Amino acid sequence: MSYSLAESIAIPFWAEGRDFIGGRDPLGIQNSSVSVYSTLLPGLNNVTERLRYYGFYCWLLSCIEEKNLAFKTPREQHNYIRKAEYILALYMAIQEPGAGNIAGIDYANKHVLNPANQIFDIKKGAEKHPDTKKGSVYWDFGSGALGQYYAGSLLLLRLIKVQDRYFFSAESGKELGIAFEKNISPEAKQFLFQTIESGQLARKEVLKLSDFSLQKIKPKSAEWSYYIQLFFSTDSPAEGGTVNDLTTYRRDTWLDFIQYLLTCKEEREWRYFPQHVYAQKGFGGTREATAASAGWYYYSANEYIHFGLEAIFSIILRSIEEEPLHINKLLSELREMCVDALHGYHDFSDTILTRDFLDFVADEPLTNEYPGIILEHLNDESWDEVMAWAIELLLKVYKETLPDHDLFNRFTYNTNTRDKRGTALEFFEEHITPFLEMPFLLFVERTISKIINDHLYVAYIKMGNGEGQVHKMLLEDNYLVHIANIDPRFTTPRLGTVRNFLIDLALMQVKNGKYLLTEEGETIYKQYKLK
């Protein structure tokens, strides 16, 4: 006997109940994009947007070792680090309130904005214990922003080590720590550690911490030079790799990104770098392509394919929102909806083959315009238009990248990103090329069916891995039952972090919405561009 989701079962049920939870990747395909941009920008992530934290953590861990501070448990060490993080957040909230991306800044602001608070309790605001209530300290994650956000990047760059949950500065991290300390006065250093140990910070004394500003890196200092070398040098070899395996994906990405920023007419255009590289076919035919530009080209192809598939999935969900539908009826209705909408743009017979329909995929509109068009129709609840534009986007990306599939294959084999689930190459090779002789109507239906099956498969796999019940729909007795809607989205490929690092390093500045190289930026850009 089957039950609807709205019904309850009145007999004892001894298993633990599992609520449906939100899932950001309903088709299980976005990791293929993540693996690409992780290869192209190693040592960065989307939440490590203040570069000077890298030097601060390496310096702090080195100082802990120099002071021979003994911690009985990892929690003790983590709380020591947490107090240092909270002190920096308080300093930034008081002295540099406009700075963004500071760990714990919201919590610090709540206390700083109250003028009655002249003495800040560092211990109370920072230490995390088993009975600490969520939201009662500056950062909920036990090992602070270091453990939750920065450790992964610092480990990959071999600046820190972790053993038995304790953090240590690696040899290269000690070098960065030495360079960092050259910008810290002895008085500021002493005051920071006094504050950590006393657990009290007076508002009137906070200016003593100005050397620790997280947005001021002195150009041409030893610390600044270390960061330049760190991010413009070759990438670290993969685990088990050798110096012969070194690549320059990160450096080439930074250089290509700088060149792109200089062409931007508005500040927010930095977000469209991947689409720019895609439109330039990885710079093929316009200027010399790099391994990085080929990677960003492939990344964008992945993203467009994912967007098209997720757009169709969003319409599947909305089609069963009011009531469950038999899967055969749903497939038939969505196929007809899509094809009827396409008839409004193209003159083709219902017997046309998929191969021949490719001829209707024109150069205009540009590929980067499709997501905006799809979202506009989604907002207007024009489900048929969403289906039509999404199907055409999938075929358009296939058609215009076809001459470059060998380039994609070389990049993915060289970077071990070939066998990730949901890649553009997988979709091309398994779901388009073998079915070019299939009637186009059946191709549309098959694509819809694939998306349904992919979601159900991925959702059950995630349940088996203990990730919770992330279904957006269920299949019961051949009826699809609605759980929740989700809209298509792109991944976030660390470029915001690169932009912020370039500004923190004073290599670039923004004036009147435009990006300009500083004097130091001109020098560094030319120096590494010639390598």
Q: Which of 5-14, 147-156, 195-204 has the least mean pLDDT?
A: 5-14
| Segment 338-356 mean pLDDT | 96
Q: What region does 54 belong to: left with phi over 0, alpha with psi -120 to 50, or beta? A: alpha
Residues 6+ apart with CB under 8 A from 52: 213, 214, 215, 216, 217, 504
DSSP-derived 3-state class of residue 119:
strand
Examine the pLDDT at 2 and tell me if it is beyond 50: no
Examine the pLDDT at 4 and tell me if it is beyond 70: no
Assess whether 153 and 192 both reside in one domain: yes
Domain assignment present for 31 = no
Assess whether 373 and 470 both reside in one domain: yes
Q: What pLDDT is attached to residue 403? A: 94
Q: What pLDDT is attached to residue 467? A: 53
* Half-sphere exposure at residue 406, Cβ-oriented, CA atoms within 13 angstroms: 1
Pairing of strands 479-482, 473-476: antiparallel
Per DSSP, helices labelled H in 352-489 are 354-357, 370-379, 383-401, 405-415, 424-431, 440-464
Q: What is the Cα–Cα distance from 261 to 272, expressed in whole angstroms?
A: 10
CATH number at residue 509: 1.10.10.10
Q: What is the Cα–Cα distance from 319 to 313, expressed in whole angstroms?
A: 10
Assess whether 262 and 299 both reside in one domain: no
Cis? peptide before 403, omega within 30° of 0 = no
Helix, strand, coil shares of the chain, percent, nearest 5, are: 55, 5, 35
Assess whether 64 and 173 both reside in one domain: yes
Examine the pLDDT at 12 and tell me if it is beyond 50: no
Identity of the residue numbered 435? F
| Exposure b/e, 488-518, CB count within 10 A at least 16 = b | bebbebbbbbbbbbbbbbbbbeeeeeebebb
Assess whether 455 and 497 both reside in one domain: no
Q: What is the Cα–Cα distance from 487 to 314, expressed in whole angstroms?
A: 6
Domain assignment present for 121 = yes
Q: What is the Cα–Cα distance from 376 to 366, expressed in whole angstroms?
A: 16
Domain assignment present for 26 = no
Q: What is the Cα–Cα distance from 394 to 104, expressed in whole angstroms?
A: 42
Q: What is the Cα–Cα distance from 364 to 469, expressed in whole angstroms?
A: 41
| Exposure b/e, 382-396, CB count within 10 A at least 16 = b | bbbbbbbbbbbbbbb
Nearest to 401 by CA among 271, 270, 284: 284
The angle that helices 383-401 and 291-319 make with each other, rounded to 10 degrees, is 160
Q: What pLDDT is attached to residue 8? A: 36
Q: How far is CA 185 from CA 51, 82, 209, 389, in A?
A: 20, 22, 9, 60
Confidence of residue 11 (pLDDT cuts 50, 70, 90): very low
Q: What pLDDT is attached to residue 432? A: 98
Assess whether 225 and 339 both reside in one domain: no
How many other C-beta atoms are found inside a 10 Å radius of the C-beta of residue 418?
Answer: 17
Domain assignment present for 68 = yes
Domain assignment present for 154 = yes
Assess whether 76 and 178 both reside in one domain: yes
Residues 6+ apart with CB under 8 A from 501: 44, 49, 51, 227, 231
Angle, CA of 69, 70 and 74, to the nearest 5°: 115
Angle, CA of 37, 300 and 32, to the nearest 5°: 50
Assess whether 263 and 333 both reside in one domain: no
Domain assignment present for 359 = yes
Assess whether 94 and 184 both reside in one domain: yes
DSSP-derived 3-state class of residue 468:
coil
Please give the structure tokens belonging to residue 314.
């969003």
Assess whether 300 and 336 both reside in one domain: yes
Confidence of residue 461 (pLDDT cuts 50, 70, 90): confident
Q: What is the Cα–Cα distance from 305 to 290, expressed in whole angstroms?
A: 23
Look at 249 and 5; give whichever has higher pLDDT: 249
Nearest to 407 by CA among 495, 330, 298: 298
| Segment 95-117 mean pLDDT | 94
Q: What is the DSSP letter of 207?
A: G
Classify burial at 121, counting beta carbons within 10 Å of its beta carbon; exposed 0-12, middle 13-18, buried 19 or more.
Answer: middle
Q: What is the Cα–Cα distance from 410 to 157, expressed in whole angstroms?
A: 25
| Interval 435-459: pLDDT, tens | 999 999 999 999 999 999 999 999 8
Assess whether 203 and 94 both reside in one domain: yes
Please give the structure tokens belonging to residue 343.
């008839």
Nearest to 458 by CA among 486, 428, 497, 477: 486
Please give the structure tokens belonging to residue 34.
């993540």
Q: What pLDDT is attached to residue 529? A: 86
Domain assignment present for 79 = yes
Phi, psi at 243, each rounded to 5°: -60, -20
Examine the pLDDT at 325 and tell me if it is beyond 50: yes
Assess whether 187 and 70 both reside in one domain: yes
Identity of the residue numbered 296? W
Q: What pLDDT is attached to residue 6? A: 38
> What is the count of structural domains for the chain?
3
Q: Which of 14-23, 63-72, 77-86, 155-164 has the least mean pLDDT?
A: 14-23
| Interval 115-170: pLDDT, tens | 999 999 999 999 999 999 999 999 999 999 999 999 999 999 999 999 999 999 99
| Segment 187-206 mean pLDDT | 97
How many other C-beta atoms are found inside a 10 Å radius of the C-beta of residue 136?
Answer: 11
| Segment 397-415 mean pLDDT | 94
| Interval 241-277: pLDDT, tens | 454 567 899 999 999 999 999 999 999 999 999 999 9
Please give the structure tokens belonging to residue 236.
């670290």
Q: 166 near 71, Cβ under 8 Å?
A: yes
Identity of the residue numbered 118? Q
Domain assignment present for 354 = yes
- Residue span of the structural domain in which 406 resides: 292-482
Q: 58 near 169, Cβ under 8 Å?
A: yes
* Total count of residues recorded for the chain: 531
